[in-house]
């Protein structure tokens, strides 16, 4: 896999019982932006959900499958050319083979998205 194939890189990851904090850098050269949207690239909502899922996997150290998107509120578009460095703050709880994740994506302290998903371990 080349660097162009990587959608984001984790620059910081810390966790406590109440909260998980991550810093990421978006790859503004990723091929997805050629179609979403040419001349005005925006991080697709589904990729924001995928970022949250991958960070939850890292937290629980296991593969997770998204079972349900409870809510996804996109408050402002994420522009990879201008907002490459993002912060994600989330809580995640595991109960009865289900993982509930509630996350906020920030840039410079401004909330860009709020995402809530339920996952289960992949078998």
Give the model confidence (pLDDT) of 13-65 as tens digits: 999 878 999 999 999 999 999 888 888 999 999 999 999 999 999 999 999 99
Model pLDDT for residues 59-102, shown as the tens digit of each residue? 999 999 999 999 999 999 999 989 999 999 999 999 999 999 99
> Which domains, ranges and CATH numbers included, belong to the chain?
3-121 (3.10.129.10)
What pLDDT is attached to residue 12?
97
Q: Which pLDDT score is estimated for 2?
A: 53
User: Would you state the pLDDT for residue 16?
Assistant: 87
Query: pLDDT: is 5 or 66 the higher one?
Result: 66
53: left (phi over 0), alpha (psi -120 to 50) or beta: alpha
What global pTM score does this model have?
0.93
Cα separation, 2 vs 14, whole angstroms: 27
């Amino acid at each position: 896999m080349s660097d162009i194939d990587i959608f984001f890189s984790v620059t910081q990851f810390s966790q406590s019982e109440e909260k998980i904090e991550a810093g990421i850098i978006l790859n503004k050269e990723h091929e997805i932006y050629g179609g979403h949207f040419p001349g005005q690239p925006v991080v697709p909502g589904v990729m924001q959900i995928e970022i949250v899922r991958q960070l939850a996997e890292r937290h629980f150290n296991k593969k997770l499958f998204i079972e349900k998107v409870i809510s996804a509120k996109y408050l402002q578009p994420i522009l990879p050319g201008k907002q490459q460095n993002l912060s994600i703050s989330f809580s995640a709880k595991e109960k009865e083979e289900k993982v509930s994740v509630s996350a906020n994506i920030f840039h410079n302290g401004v909330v860009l998205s709020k995402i809530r998903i339920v996952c289960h371990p992949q078998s």
